[in-house]
Amino acid sequence: MHPYIYLASQSPRRQELLQQIGVRFELLLAGSDEDPESLESTITNEPALDYVKRVTLAKLQAAQKRLMQRDLKWAPILSADTTVAISMNGQEIILGKPKDHEDAKRILYLLSGKTHQVHTAVALLNQRSVTDLGVGNGREGSGSPPLLLVSSSEVTFKKLDDRLISTYITSEEPMGKAGAYGIQGLAACFIENIQGSFSGIMGLPLFETAQFLQASDVQFDLNTPD
């Protein structure tokens, strides 16, 4: 049984969620020679579900490269990505991380008084997995594709006025977050209803992640050695 995993994410929320269920992890983050933000580039007319899966697998692949290049001891690798999307005039619009305060304001006005979708993809590379770069331990053998799924939820915002949006942006909470908000923070005051996974909206669906970890023989609080 694996006592820990590598986490290919610098999100403090994902780290907190893994700690919540007792998963030990080591961060496997990009080096100074990498541009991790480029992995999140959008493709015109790409559906949000396709986008979030593509980005998550790209992050997983980049992390596996790091493991091999740094000659680290093998352990399963977990990656995830969250995107927010809203349908307007029959078109799906992906709302990523705001570039600045003005962009955050634009995104929050789009979400105001409407229901939007939050998609979080999670992928796990285990010893039975293979990617384009290598297999299992990241070096040799053959196996199956990484475990991958998407947790989709719906979130309904109340109507937000100018003062509320400005005050929220001043808090800096919207920055660095898909959709310009964090459900676990001040934005909880905006949310009239959610349908789906609260942890998935935060950035890591714990039910599905626990299933992946259990299937991959990773130790955590509810999956301990016999």
> Which listed residue (35, 81, 100, 103) is catalytic?
81
Looking at the domain assignment, is residue 226 inside a domain?
Answer: no
**Number of domains present in the structure of the chain:** 1
Looking at the domain assignment, is residue 109 inside a domain?
Answer: yes
* Whether 86 contacts 116, CB under 8 Å: yes
Give the range of the structural domain holding residue 41, as residue numbers without chain letter. 5-215
Residue 73 has pLDDT above 70, yes or no: yes
Write down the pLDDT at residue 94: 96
Per-residue pLDDT reduced to its tens digit, 136-161: 444 443 467 899 999 999 999 999 99
Looking at the domain assignment, is residue 82 inside a domain?
Answer: yes
Per-residue pLDDT reduced to its tens digit, 149-195: 999 999 999 999 999 999 999 999 999 999 999 999 999 999 999 99
State how far the alpha carbon of 217 is from the alpha carbons of 3, 6, 27, 169, 203, in Å. Answer: 9, 14, 19, 42, 23
To the question of pTM greater than 0.75 for the whole model, the response is yes
Write down the pLDDT at residue 130: 57
Q: How far apart are CA 194 and CA 201, in angstroms?
A: 9
Look up the CATH number of the domain holding residue 109. Answer: 3.90.950.10
Looking at the domain assignment, is residue 224 inside a domain?
Answer: no
Looking at the domain assignment, is residue 222 inside a domain?
Answer: no
Looking at the domain assignment, is residue 223 inside a domain?
Answer: no
Amino acid type, 23: V
State how far the alpha carbon of 39 is from the alpha carbons of 54, 55, 102, 144, in Å. Answer: 9, 6, 23, 23
> Is 103 an active-site residue?
no
Q: How far apart are CA 103 and CA 203, in angstroms?
A: 21
Amino acid type, 213: L
